[in-house]
A and B are shown apart, each in its own frame.
Chain A
Amino acid sequence: MSGKQRLITDVFAQHKKELSRVGKTKVATTTVDESVHDVDSETAQQLLRDKEIDVLKQFDLCWEYGPCTGISRLERWERAEKHGMNPPDQVRRLIMKHEDETNYTQSLWHDYPL
């Protein structure tokens, strides 16, 4: 039992660490030769990112659009659109803007095995 629980928290911790590490290294490289102003813009970007991811998470958690595991967010959005449920257009725009980032394209549960 305890072994299993640790595994889940590991996944959560890793996920968060990765995100923050990416942010930190970027900050570190820029601060070497750039001004303090850029550090601020980096944190601002991070904040914006968090907000965007949050919007996408809310979309995942909206049950009206059907199950979200195993398919990409865009696929789910398009299915909802097909059934005339009017999914928020912002979600689609966000996904399209970050087409190469799994954080944006895949659902909340993407990292978990089925």
Chain B
Amino acid sequence: MSEESTDNVTFQRPSSTYENLSTRFLQKDRNFQRQYAHLYAERLCSMRPRLLETAKRRWGESVVMRKLYEMKAEEKCCIVGTLFKSMELKPSILKEISEDHNLVPQPARDKYIADSDTLILEDELQRIVLVGNVDVQKAITGVVVAVSGHERDDGKFEVDDFCMADLPVQLPPKQLDEDRYVVLVSGLGLGEEGHHLMNLQLLLDLITGQLGSPEEQEVYSKVVRVIIAGNSLSRNTQQTDVLSTAKYLSRKVKAGTVEAVKALDDVLAQLASCVAVDVMPGPSDPAFCFLPQQPLHRCMFPQASVYPTMQSVTNPYEASVDGVRFLGSSGQNITDIFQYTDMEDGIGILEATLSANHIAPTAPDTLACYPYYNEDPFIMSECPHVYFAGNQTKFQSRIFKGNAGQKVLLVTVPRFVSSHACVLLNLRNLQCTPVVFSSNIGSE
């Protein structure tokens, strides 16, 4: 103890190079007149050359490439198209309207999969039912794939093999000679009832260097950036009942988000005074729900926004920190796929989206997204080093190895409000560890 008080060590926080690579997610115009057909056409067009390349490498140069309308019966060929999973249980607005008269609304389920689901491949003009060597329940709607096989007599396509595009080229990460960390945290859940802020305060104090032994302080002084991956506010702050009550009744009611945003401003101000902070919006934050979610407005954070270190960013978010390329979302893409496949694991779904080269393949089918017509910003055009998803049930991490030697660290970041954990990621060797805060103070 005496040693600590006499020996005042100060740790200097290292500076890091940073580049925001998310400009493609920023909304340039707001035109909702268009249909989503453009997005699918664009996706197929952009992915086709990449898939043709992969298909030729996998099945040989001599493989016959066909579009669906050129296909001849019983001829072995390869087709590039977009997957669509036809699902009986999928919630549909049309079904709800037609059943409006006499039936109860469809029950909300964890998963909407059923044995009767069929897989369909679509190209520009036609669609065909896929059978054979494909796992229907592992397939994700909206993914562009190449299938090899032949058309059967009954008009279905017998799949022998299928593949997805190779990952794009990955630039080698810069070699750092010292440890530097990035903290990933998501689901702070401010405004949640019975949420004790003690754990959050511990996290803040640890990062800002007001807590822990000198050894711990030394580690946390090397945190160069904190990425908050969505749902900083609890879902409870979104009072949807206000929408259905009369205006004169709710006139004097303060919106539930106001207090929570103030609390978030406090949190961000503490962090931003010491370290660079990126705030991504999530599904329960005060932002539009469709992807890509636009940055939360700075005016919501009067205290924090005075710091140049505080940055409000898009969701999905891509950035390079010290040469390490981060790409990630607040997790709605993963949660959505979870509902429509039999994959249980957040990390498995994350890996599936990475191998599909697409951050949110289920948009626009079951996930709201902007009707793009001349670009699909969710396609990965460069391979990230770290690919993360926020607001997952538990922390998991895995190294994904691409065919051309790409190495991608997959991380699912747990909800802080339920797990009290954040993820500490070392930029030098791309190793990540969860840090769990638990305290009994404040809870009975």
| Residues in A lying within 8 Å of B, measured CB to CB | 63-64, 66-67, 69-71, 75, 78-79, 82-83, 114
Contacts and interface: CB of A to CB of B under 8 A. Distances in A.
Most buried by B among A64, A78, A83: A83
B125 interface: yes
Contacts of A114: 33, 35
B382 interface: no
Most buried by A among B37, B125, B374: B374
Interface string B37-66: 110011001100000000000000000000
Given A69-B37, A75-B374, 14 more contacts: A66-B41, A66-B42, A66-B45, A67-B37, A67-B41, A69-B35, A70-B33, A71-B38, A78-B374, A79-B374, A82-B374, A83-B45, A83-B46, A114-B33
A32 to B, nearest CB: 43
B46 A70 contact: no
Interface of B is mostly: loop
B35 A67 contact: yes
A79 B124 CA distance: 15
B34 interface: yes
Interface of B: 33-35, 37-38, 41-42, 45-46, 124-125, 371, 373-374
Contacts of A78: 374
Nearest to A85: B45
A28 to B, nearest CB: 37
A70 B34 contact: yes
Contacts, number: 36
B35 A79 contact: no
A69 B42 CA distance: 14
Nearest to B41: A66
A66 B35 contact: no
Contacts of B125: 63
Nearest to A113: B33
19 contacts: A63-B124, A64-B124, A66-B38, A66-B41, A66-B42, A67-B41, A69-B34, A70-B33, A70-B35, A70-B38, A70-B371, A70-B373, A71-B373, A75-B374, A78-B374, A79-B42, A79-B373, A79-B374, A114-B35
Given A79-B374, A83-B46, A66 B33 contact: no
Given A66-B124, A79-B374, A71 B42 contact: no
B34 to A, nearest CB: 4
Given A83-B45, A83-B46, A67 B38 contact: yes
A10 B45 CA distance: 37
A71 B34 contact: yes
A68 to B, nearest CB: 9
A83 to B, nearest CB: 5
A67 B125 CA distance: 11
Contacts of A82: 374
Give 10 nearest A-B pairs by CB, closest first: A70-B34, A66-B41, A67-B37, A79-B374, A83-B45, A71-B373, A67-B38, A70-B33, A70-B35, A67-B41
A69 B373 CA distance: 10
Contacts of A66: 37-38, 41-42, 45, 124
Contacts of A63: 124-125
B57 to A, nearest CB: 21
Contacts of A71: 34, 38, 373
A30 B371 CA distance: 47
B69 to A, nearest CB: 10
